[in-house]
Amino acid sequence: MIPFNIPSRTGIEQKYVLDAISAQKLCGDGPYSRRCESWFESVLNVGKTYLTPSCTHALELAALLIDIQPGDEVIMPSYTFVSTANAFALRGAKIVFVDIRADTQNLDERLVESAITDRTRAIVPVHYAGISCSMNEIMAIADRHGLYVIEDAAQGMMASFEGRPLGGIGHLGTYSFHETKNYTSGGEGGLLIVNDDRFQKRAEIIREKGTNRKQFLRGVVDKYSWVDVGSSYLPSELQAAYLWGQLEAAEKINDYRLMLWRNYYDALSPMQDQGLVSLPVVPSAARHNGHMFYLKLSGLDQRDRLIDCLKQRGVQAPFHYVPLHDTAVGRKWGRLHGSDQQTSKTANSLLRLPMWYGLAEKDQLEVIGWVKDFFTSEG
């Protein structure tokens, strides 16, 4: 059996988790939390960071920070995970879905400006497969219209655009440390990145249940109290300790995944040249992180036949998102701006191949061989 994913594990996570247990400091914002946040700020050179229990929580925190109100509109792609939309729908926002590009599967920046109304508050680009959206154009549109940009970089840690880390370009950014991502904090986890100084003080308060407890701990106030809306957006020290074991090997993990990605690309490129499949496109300004390797086939029937073919050989190769605008809740809380030229087409044709840190090259070669065999039999 060759699974689609196995959570990243370096072998040193247990040491740090046991150390956190021994230190008897298990709640959030302990030594390991601070160590991880400092790593992101110094190594990746992003803004002020806050660990969260999940990327979903980080997105919800971002929606609170920009003060989303009922009736506000937020622009995003339909081809994304439900958390991207839920974070804003929970605040009463109307989600305005925009079609994606045919090459990167990212939000089509050429369609964004026409989707803006006097109710629009934010644009939420999603960096699909760790490959950057066209951030210069998106930021320029936001500047012209006075909008916020919140990067959903759930898949984007260690990836960049024009040398700037994904998540570190918009006003706010988010990462995911779910077990399906390149780095995990023990199965779940996330990060809020605050690149706009205006949000730093309030992010700290909202994340601490709406209290100024952090100021109290620093000695700024003599007692803490309820000063704003908020929730419990702190992960435990066990999650942070596990993540620290991953961050120490961040480059090693990244290099291994990029090697696997290149193996797939080099081996399957001749099939793309023959017009049998479409492979991922990485724009020249983008540096990706090997998060995902996907194929786009001729359509739903062929995609499902390949999934079944690989399953019979013990390989998990799933499709991905169901377009949000085409769901019951998506229709209730949102609307599609313009037409669906690419979103459903991508949803019906895209298949993801096994990819994880530690995937043996011999197993990868088997997957590649079975994919080639399938197209030989289709011919």
Within a domain: residue 261? yes
Domain range for 48: 13-247
232 and 312 assigned to the same domain: no
pLDDT digits (tens, 9 = 90+) for 270-287: 999 999 999 999 999 999
- Amino acid code (one letter) for 300: L
pLDDT digits (tens, 9 = 90+) for 47-72: 999 999 999 999 999 999 999 999 99
238: left (phi over 0), alpha (psi -120 to 50) or beta: alpha
Within a domain: residue 6? no
Within a domain: residue 333? yes
147 and 240 assigned to the same domain: yes
Which residues does 167 contact at the CB level (< 8 Å), separation at least 6? 46, 151, 153, 156, 157, 173, 174, 175, 191, 193
Last residue within a domain, chosen from 182, 213, 247: 247
240 and 257 assigned to the same domain: no
DSSP secondary structure letters along 323-371: PGGGSHHHHHHEEE-S--SSHHHHHHHEEE----TT--HHHHHHHHHHH
Within a domain: residue 167? yes
Residue 217 has pLDDT above 90, yes or no: no
258 and 232 assigned to the same domain: no
Residue 213 has pLDDT above 90, yes or no: no
Residue 4 has pLDDT above 80, yes or no: yes
pLDDT at 94: 98
When the pLDDT of each residue in the chain is averaged and rounded to a whole number, the result is 97
Average pLDDT over residues 17-24: 95
pLDDT at 222: 82
177 and 228 assigned to the same domain: yes
pLDDT at 325: 98
pLDDT at 379: 67
163 and 211 assigned to the same domain: yes
183 and 278 assigned to the same domain: no
Q: In what order do the strands lie in the sheet with 73-77?
A: 48-52, 190-194, 172-176, 148-152, 120-123, 73-77, 94-98, 334-336
**Strand-pair category, 294-296 with 350-352:** antiparallel
**Strand-pair category, 172-176 with 148-152:** parallel
What is the separation, in whole angstroms, between the first and last Cα of the chain? Answer: 27
207 and 320 assigned to the same domain: no
Residue 264 has pLDDT above 70, yes or no: yes
307 and 372 assigned to the same domain: yes
Residue 135 has pLDDT above 80, yes or no: yes
How many domains does the chain fold into? 2
92 and 240 assigned to the same domain: yes
The CATH number of the domain holding residue 255 is: 3.90.1150.10
**What letters, b where the CB count within 10 A reaches 16 and e where it falls short, cover 136-148?**
eebbebbeeeebb
Within a domain: residue 2? no
Which residues does 145 contact at the CB level (< 8 Å), separation at least 6? 113, 116, 120
Within a domain: residue 4? no
Q: Where are the alpha helices (DSSP H) in 159-299?
A: 200-207, 213-217, 237-247, 250-273
Q: Are 78 and 343 in contact (CB under 8 A)?
A: yes
Distance CA(118)–CA(319), nearest Å, equals 37
Q: What is the DSSP letter of 208?
A: B
Angle at 89 between CA 193 and CA 72, to 5 degrees: 90
pLDDT: is 110 or 218 the higher one? 110
Q: Are 150 and 124 in contact (CB under 8 A)?
A: yes
pLDDT: is 239 or 214 the higher one? 239
Distance CA(199)–CA(202), nearest Å, equals 6
Distance CA(366)–CA(4), nearest Å, equals 14
Determine which helix (DSSP H) or strand (DSSP E) holds 191, and give its type and residue range.
strand 190-194
**Strand-pair category, 148-152 with 334-336:** unpaired
Within a domain: residue 175? yes
Last residue within a domain, chosen from 247, 280, 311: 247
The CATH number of the domain holding residue 145 is: 3.40.640.10
260 and 239 assigned to the same domain: no
Burial of 115 (0-12, 13-18, 19+ CB in 10 A): buried
- Residues of the chain with pLDDT > 90: what percent? 95
69 and 164 assigned to the same domain: yes
- How remote is the C-alpha of 289 from its chain's centroid? 12
Last residue within a domain, chosen from 247, 279, 306: 247
Distance CA(149)–CA(76), nearest Å, equals 10
Within a domain: residue 227? yes
Average pLDDT over residues 242-250: 98
Token pair belonging to 366: 């088997």
